[in-house]
């Protein structure tokens, strides 16, 4: 297998320090890419592996991690290299020693996320397209948030899902959720469920596996609530650093619909019924 010698060669080239893969440890939890930890007895790296045609996905992920690291608000693994070996694409990241059972730094994570969201630009979108899981995510420069969310997020997923009743009706009524609310283009993680956030052994809050773009900061907060795992200290610290608009309680369903539709597209099953129920609930909010 040529993968690991190629990975070692690129690590050596990028770091300037010779590296030879001495051990490979498969890691669990990855539903899109296979994940490994490689080591030489002194240094360790985290490696994600997928089919060669997905190399652009890894290039965008590496760029997204670099974008999240730029404000220095939270611990973000440093991308080392992206490459292709035979039929495999790979992404090598700095290894973070995570403590998945540690919840004592959740307030610090909430404050750090609020600071991250203070990083803004003058338009929504990003400098490149990327992926949400394995699904393409388009990020063209857009001045209007409702247009961006309607076309490149909700509308795109509804087109992929095909059979979501009243989805087009919801799209047509999208402006009604933003009559008194004008979000700024904040730097967002984009896929912020608990599996993509952790604390290191030294207590630093860390984020990884992003789907970065500049959008309404509420999209990140909404997803933290979708599958749970973020405690009251996290939310209290975030709201203290940057209070949320009163309409968030309704819009979070609108934002999480995007992720439920994506889960339906990727995994099928009961996510379709959940998406239909969310559409009905959102339309009922409008009367």
Known catalytic residues?
Answer: 191
Give the pair of three-digit tokens for residue 92: 């090598």
The distance of Cα 115 from the centroid of its chain, to the nearest Å, equals: 17
Length of the chain: 287
Eight-class DSSP state of 123: S
Give the pair of three-digit tokens for residue 134: 């394995």
Alpha carbon of 54 to those of 57, 90, 112, 130, 271: distances in Å?
Answer: 5, 9, 31, 11, 25
Residue 99's region, left for phi above 0, alpha for psi from -120 to 50, else beta, is beta
The distance of Cα 243 from the centroid of its chain, to the nearest Å, equals: 22
Give the pair of three-digit tokens for residue 7: 């990975």
| Residue 81 β-bridge partners | 92
The alpha carbon torsion through 140, 146, 149, 155 (nearest 10 deg) reads -110
């Amino acid at each position: 297998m040529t993968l690991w010698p190629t990975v070692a060669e690129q690590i050596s080239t990028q770091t300037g320090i010779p590296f030879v893969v001495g051990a490979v440890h498969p890691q669990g939890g990855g539903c899109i890419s296979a994940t490994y930890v490689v080591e030489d007895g002194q240094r360790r790296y985290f490696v994600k592996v997928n089919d060669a045609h997905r190399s652009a996905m890894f290039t965008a992920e590496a760029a997204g991690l670099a974008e999240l690291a730029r404000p220095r608000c939270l611990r973000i693994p440093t991308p080392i290299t992206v490459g292709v070996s035979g039929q495999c694409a790979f992404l090598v990241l700095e290894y973070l020693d995570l403590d998945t059972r540690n919840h004592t730094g959740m307030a610090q994570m909430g404050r750090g996320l609020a600071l991250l969201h203070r990083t803004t630009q003058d338009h929504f979108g990003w400098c490149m397209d990327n992926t949400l899981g394995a699904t393409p995510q388009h990020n063209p420069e857009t001045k209007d948030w409702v247009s961006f969310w309607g076309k490149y997020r909700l509308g795109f997923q509804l087109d992929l899902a095909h059979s979501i009743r009243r989805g087009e009706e919801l799209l047509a009524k999208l402006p009604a959720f933003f009559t008194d609310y004008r979000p700024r283009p904040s730097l967002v993680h984009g896929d912020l469920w608990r599996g993509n956030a952790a604390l290191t052994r030294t207590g630093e809050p860390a984020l990884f596996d992003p789907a970065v773009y500049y959008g309404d900061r509420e999209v990140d907060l909404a997803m933290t609530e979708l599958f749970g795992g973020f405690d009251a200290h996290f939310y209290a610290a975030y709201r203290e650093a940057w209070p949320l608009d009163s309409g968030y309680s309704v819009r979070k369903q609108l934002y999480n619909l995007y992720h439920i539709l994506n889960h339906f597209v990727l995994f099928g099953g009961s996510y379709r019924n959940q998406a239909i129920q969310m559409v009905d609930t959102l339309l009922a909010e409008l009367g």
